[in-house]
Amino acid sequence: MTGRFLADDGCTIAFDYRPIEGRPVLLLSPSLGTAMALFEPQLEAFEGRYSILRYDPRGHGASDVVPGSSSMDRLGRDVIGLLDHLGIARAHVLGVSLGGMVGQWLGYRAPERLLRLVLANTSAYMGPPGGWADRIAAVTAQGMEAVTDAVIERWFTPDFRRDHPARVDHARAMLLATDPRGYAACSAAIRDMDMRPTARLVAAPTLVVAGLRDPATPPEHARFLAETIPGARLAEFDAAHLANLEQSFAFNTTVGAFLEQEG
């Protein structure tokens, strides 16, 4: 079921929901500059085992662009509103990068809505703010082409870029299709975010995933989360920033085993 959900500020959020009676919901929250298509390898692995819910963050994919900056609170409330719209009381949440930041917000602001939480290639803080200000200025003035090559280098290791050009081109197409205003708005949310003080308040069983060659959210960022979130576990892969694509089989196997655990 594809549809569009109207958030409380008038922004329309695009989603794809594939419910299966009796199966828990797995919500997939994508990274900055991508859309729900980021999770094609996870859809293939988990469809039939879970009721899959994917969505495009505001300003991305088929969702609306809203003028001005966004915030992590706003992005988190979009997810809560979407769950309410679909009548979903609780869900597993798997977030990559920006999606993992939204997952952290849910973990301390709305833990009652979570079953299990996977925080992949993400961070509690991505300062300094000046770097984000420069990126926002670049895409605002020159469009997504201004940052695409540098972003792709952070997303994938050189070996993966050489050996899997079709998958890299798919990711590049998502990035280039992102509205610069939406990218800038969500970049501002990351610029202004500091969830280091609240990491210890995340109250859901949590798996933290790191890419050992991730220059965007380095392994030490994941280790901080794993050490600070009560009871969190850590999995590290030989990947750059999009481990769910670069190491999809190992990623899916590890995430699947975590989600199937009880307690």
Q: What is the pLDDT of residues 3-14, one digit of tens each?
A: 999 999 999 999
Q: Give the span between the Cα atoms of 39 and 249, in whole angstroms.
A: 13
- At residue 262 the predicted structure's pLDDT band, cuts being 50, 70 and 90, is confident
| pLDDT over 70 (residue 231) | yes
- Does the pLDDT at position 189 exceed 90? yes
Helix (H, G, I), strand (E, B) or coil at 232: coil
Q: What is the per-residue pLDDT for 182? A: 98
Is the previous residue joined to 128 through a cis bond, with omega within 30 degrees of 0?
yes
What are the CA-CA distances from residue 73 to residues 76, 186, 213, 258 (Å)?
A: 5, 11, 29, 27
Work out the pLDDT band at 49, boundaries 50, 70, 90: very high
Q: Residue written as tokens 């952290």?
A: 104
Map out the domains of the chain with their CATH numbers: 2-259 (3.40.50.1820)
- Does 159 have pLDDT greater than 90? yes
- Beta-carbon count within 10 A of 142 CB: 11
Rounded CA separation 230/227 (Å): 8
Write down how long the chain is.
263
Q: What is the pLDDT of residue 229?
A: 98
* Ramachandran quadrant class, 60 (left: phi over 0; alpha: psi -120 to 50; beta: rest): beta
**C-alpha 114: how far from chain center:** 15
> pLDDT digit string (tens) for 90-147?
999 999 999 999 999 999 999 999 999 999 999 999 989 999 999 999 999 999 999 9
Instruction: Please report the pLDDT score of residue 20 as a whole number.
Output: 98
Q: In the predicted model, is pLDDT for residue 263 greater than 70?
A: no
In this predicted structure, what is the pLDDT of residue 127?
87
Read off the pLDDT of each residue in 191-208 and give the average, rounded to a whole number.
98
